[in-house]
Chains A and B, each alone.
Chain A
Amino acid sequence: MGRLIEPLQYPFMQSGLLAAVLVGVTCAVLGVYVVLRSMAFIGDALAHTILPGLVTAYLLGLNLLLGAVVAGVATAFGIGWLSRRETLREDTAIGITFTGMFALGILLMSTANSFRDFTHMLFGNILGITPADLALISGLALLVLVVLFVFHKELELTSFDPTHARVMGLRADRVRYGLLILLSLTVVAGIQAVGVVLISALLITPAAAASLLTRSLPRMMFVSAAIAVFSGVAGLYASYYFNVASGAAIVLSCTACFVVASVVAAIRRRLATTGSSEADHTPASIEDGTPVR
């Protein structure tokens, strides 16, 4: 018990934990959409492409958030524009944009006098979080979660049936751009915690683990958030006691949760196929004789 409480006396651990929880929950809830809409690659790409925005803002002494959001939104539209005629597949468009932007970010970094300032952007520095950072993270987390709550109905519908959305005049592509903007904001919030390189792990891994465990969207979001909170706290403690990089420790905790979730899901499947008494898992096709497509 003492070992759990001991680190909490340090202010840097307190704000680090708070940041890890805020960022973790935001990424985990948004991540459920990222995973269900097969946007894992674009999420990762977006995290990388905001690097030049961050670096430019830093070099010019501008607001980092502004730089990141501009770069994120520009990327979102750039990818949409490159793949609009289907002459380029979307994943190819993402690959081109993402590597180009990331390289631009590194190039800009190398023009600065000190390269070291930027390692925080790449790998995060959750234990060096200032009160101003914490305020920014809280604001972004609140904004993203509120928007997700308010537009849940539209996000959900355009995720599983964009055609029906279009018939009633709801443009699925606009909703998608909105989601990409939310992703940019979330990535900005998460950079302090784990850095641009690992942020997509927070978006994808807890949500993917949750998707193995439940078939209800609200429950999936809840489980995903719980995994993220647990991983954030576990990762920070590991970082404190074993003196390892905090961002990497948080991400590896998520990975461990995913492995556990996979094992649980596999055991459940095994139980469901051997014990056929479980009505929930009986394919409905048996009941009325039509094959499931």
Chain B
Amino acid sequence: MKSPLFPYGGRRHTHAVGGAPALVAKAVSAGYPDATVLALRDVTLSVPVGARVALVGPNGSGKSTLLKAVAGLLPLRSGDISIYGNPVGACHHRVAYLPQRGEVDWRFPINVRKLVSTGRYVHLGWLGRLRREDREVVGEVMSRLGLEELAERQIGQLSGGQRQRALLARTLAQEGDLLLLDEPLNAVDAATRAEISDVLSDLRSRGKTLVVATHDLASLASEFDGALYLREGRAVVPEPGAFTGLPVGEAAWAG
């Protein structure tokens, strides 16, 4: 993928460091501005290229905060994050983020196709216009998520499940290598759930790295290679018998 002429954030897109894991978070602490309590304390996570890792924990355990910190939405209070061996912000184009409930103004007068197209913007940068290959990618992901019929709809006319599919389509349209998905299956109907699950396993077969915040303990073993358990902003040892798989927390680091 060519780097845009005038990338957002002012930095040229950096190449991945050979052999580096997709994501390494070392003793990361982060918090929201104005909050006195840190939402994330001393969390360590290492995700090899191509792995699917679940972030598991109750609401408020720090799953979303960790994803936001990796996406560059929250400054770190301490610790260090590297993505393909680069600091946060050096490879925006590689990191695609699906927020839990997009902070999208759904009344805004754009249609679904436009919303999905914004996933390509990171490859265009300032002054860049959508090229034919961008439109092709957008068309592909829209058909994969069953959005073709809705392409010309104003985004506010979509149902909850359709909105989630549109946001996921945008995340996929970016063609990132590391996908950060914050509860992609939350609050969607059964059909959408099945469709999204299919897309996620398809991503795995294409060698993408996934970090997914989830509530769904039942599907951990079948859908993920490893899991990090969080509680009150800290990494915790899972209960006996819980799925662990590939070590991704402190243990991965020690070993």
Contact = CB atoms under 8 A, between A and B. Distances in A.
Interface of A: 36, 86, 150-151, 153-154, 156-157, 159-171, 211, 214-217, 220, 280, 283-285, 287-293
Contact of B191 (A154, A161, A288): A288
A151 B157 CA distance: 27
A283 to B, nearest CB: 7
A157 B108 CA distance: 10
B255 interface: no
28 contacts: A86-B34, A153-B129, A156-B114, A159-B108, A160-B105, A160-B108, A161-B103, A164-B97, A165-B8, A167-B71, A168-B8, A168-B9, A169-B8, A169-B11, A171-B8, A171-B9, A215-B154, A217-B108, A283-B157, A284-B153, A284-B158, A287-B159, A288-B161, A289-B189, A290-B162, A290-B188, A290-B189, A291-B159
B255 to A, nearest CB: 32
B250 to A, nearest CB: 27
B180 to A, nearest CB: 9
A216 B103 CA distance: 20
B89 A169 contact: yes
Interface string B167-184: 000100000000000000
Interface residues on B, range: 35 or more
Contacts of A166: 72-73
Nearest to A287: B159
A153 B150 CA distance: 21
Contacts of A290: 159-162, 188-189, 192
A245 B92 CA distance: 54
Contact of A36 (B7, B97, B109): B109
A168 B95 CA distance: 8
**Most chain B beta-carbon neighbours within 10 Å: one of A160, A165, A215, A292:** A160
B127 interface: yes
Contacts of B110: 156, 160, 216-217
Contacts of A293: 101, 160, 163
A83 B129 CA distance: 34
B109 A217 contact: yes
A293 B114 CA distance: 21
A36 B154 CA distance: 14
Given A159-B105, A161-B118, A284-B158, 17 more contacts: A150-B127, A153-B121, A164-B170, A168-B121, A168-B122, A169-B7, A169-B11, A170-B8, A284-B157, A284-B159, A284-B162, A285-B159, A290-B159, A290-B161, A290-B189, A291-B160, A292-B158
